[in-house]
Amino acid sequence: MPHFRPFLLRSPSHYGLRVAVRPSFVAPVGNNSGDSELFLDYGIQGGYETERASFGMAFNGRALVTESGGSIGERTVHELGLGGSMTFGRFRPGVIVRLPLDDELSQALNYSVGLRLEVVF
């Protein structure tokens, strides 16, 4: 599968904007039965980025492309993400909070909090 790089625009004052669109293919394996599905992941992210820290907000979505039934609202899910990270030498820990924007997903999940760690080699 080819690597899809996001479009990145960064100003000299450290503000950044990313736009990304990526396909995801899911296929049953082994004894699992079912249909293969093609999804389209998309998003736009804006924030402030320096070598020492980054903070931003993102709007992300996933669309089920191979399903012919249902409205576009029934075949998509969306979320709002807020997050940031700091650099400490080779390590860059961060946190992200994700808020679902769809009614059906919001009934099952109010929000999620994630931790991340990047290591530069």
Nearest Cα to Cα of residue 45 among 92, 81, 99, 5: 81
Q: How confident is the model at residue 67 (pLDDT cuts 50, 70, 90)?
A: confident
Identify the residue with better confidence: 52 or 106.
52
Q: How confident is the model at residue 34 (pLDDT cuts 50, 70, 90)?
A: confident
Identify the residue with better confidence: 108 or 118.
118
For residue 51, which phi and psi values (nearest 5 degrees)?
Answer: -70, -25
Q: Where are the domains of the chain?
A: 7-26+35-119
Q: What does the mean pLDDT of the chain come to?
A: 88
CA atoms within 13 A on the CB side of 22: 17
Q: Check whether 64 has a pLDDT greater than 60.
A: yes
Q: Check whether 1 has a pLDDT greater than 70.
A: no
- Whole-structure pTM over 0.85, yes or no? no
C-beta atoms surrounding 118 within 10 Å:
11
